[in-house]
């Protein structure tokens, strides 16, 4: 597979074209950002570990029947994926109140929710990724009614699988964000990444935060917890 021109430089990854118009290559960076890019940081090896973890998790989800864009891990930092048109919605599922949910609704962080919740944000950095409801998303043409239905079903299915995957390694899945892509032949697949950058993960015994909140709120041990999650995944589910 020939790596060709740089298509996009994001906050956590670079995306390259390949000689196949239906495939692109992710190159994970060591950078971390939070608060819509206002806070910046990094740690050595973050890109490697997120590349490996995201692919590992996507493989486990595929084994559970979830279709993803993943093709092949090419190197420590690089992965070949199916090139998609990303649906411009961040799809957020929550099991326990935290982050913006706690703030917006005045629900104390750590309160278990009676049912998993689903919400969408309009993926638009200039607007600060505002929360959007489905009739608004339909009204401005971000997705079709069928797509919204499919995204919602995918989100809850990913939640059930991910909850189990993490619980097996002593981790509670508090919330997470996913993205979905439209393939050239009209399928919807799980795209982007799932990693401690995109999930809130708490140790099941101690509630220790094992995710990007350690960076967001300067809690220390930022890199250690990423290695901790990766170590537990590898130990339990085997070395690829
Ligand atoms: P951001 O754009 O938020 O800074 P990243 O640094 O992770 O995020 O950049 C990766 C970009 O690639 C994102 O804009 C994401 O929506 C996009 N993307 C994810 N999966 C695919 C895919 N399969 N095909 C094309 N683009 C993708
Ligand atoms: N999230 C993400 N990218 C975003 C916004 C949120 O990966 O641009 C994840 C975040 O890590 C958390 C979940 O989505 O796991 C819910 O985030 P929340 O809405 O609470 O926003 P935040 O507190 O991150 O502003």
10-residue averages of pLDDT along the chain (240 residues)? 94 97 98 95 98 98 98 98 98 98 98 98 96 98 98 98 98 98 97 98 98 98 98 87
* 3-state secondary structure (DSSP) of residue 119: strand
- Kindly report the pTM of this predicted structure: 0.98
| Test site for ligand 2: of 88, 100, 172, most ligand atoms within 8 A of the Cβ | 100
Please report, for the chain, the start and end positions of each structural domain, with discontinuous segments joined by +.
3-82, 85-221
Strand partners, 32: 41
Q: Which CATH number does 3-82 carry? A: 3.30.200.20
Nearest CA to ligand 1 atom 17: 192
Q: For the domain made up of 85-221, give the CATH fold.
A: D-amino Acid Aminotransferase; Chain A, domain 1 (3.30.470)
What per-residue confidence (pLDDT) applies to 238? 86
Segments of 64-209 assigned E as strands:
70-73, 78-82, 85-86, 89-96, 112-122, 131-132, 171-182, 188-191, 199-203
- pLDDT value of position 1: 81
Residue 88: per-residue pLDDT:
98
With the most atoms of ligand 1 within 8 angstroms of its CB, the residue from 192, 197, 198 to mutate is: 192
Residue 35 CA: nearest ligand 2 atom is 25
Give the per-residue pLDDT at 66.
98
């Amino acid at each position: 597979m020939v790596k060709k021109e740089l298509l996009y430089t994001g906050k956590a990854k670079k995306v390259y074209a390949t000689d196949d118009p239906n495939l692109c290559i992710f190159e994970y960076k060591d950078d971390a950002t939070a608060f819509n890019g206002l806070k910046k940081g990094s740690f050595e090896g973050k890109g490697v570990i997120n590349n490996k973890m995201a692919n590992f998790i996507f493989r486990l989800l595929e084994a559970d029947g979830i279709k993803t864009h993943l093709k092949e891990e090419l190197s420590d930092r690089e992965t070949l994926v199916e090139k998609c048109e990303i649906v411009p919605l961040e799809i957020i599922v929550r099991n326990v109140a935290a982050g913006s949910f706690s703030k917006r609704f005045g629900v104390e962080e750590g309160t278990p929710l009676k049912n998993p919740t689903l919400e969408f944000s309009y993926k638009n950095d200039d607007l600060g990724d505002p929360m959007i409801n489905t009739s608004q998303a339909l009204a401005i043409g971000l997705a079709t009614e069928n797509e919204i239905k499919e995204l919602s079903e995918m989100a809850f299915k990913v939640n059930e699988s991910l909850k189990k995957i993490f619980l097996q390694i002593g981790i509670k899945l508090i919330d997470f964000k996913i993205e979905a892509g439209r393939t050239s032949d009209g399928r919807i697949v799980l795209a982007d990444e799932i990693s401690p950058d995109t999930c809130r993960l708490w140790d099941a015994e101690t509630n220790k935060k094992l995710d990007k909140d350690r960076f967001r709120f300067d809690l220390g041990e930022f890199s250690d917890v990423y290695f901790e999650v990766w170590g537990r995944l590898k130990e339990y589910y085997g070395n690829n």
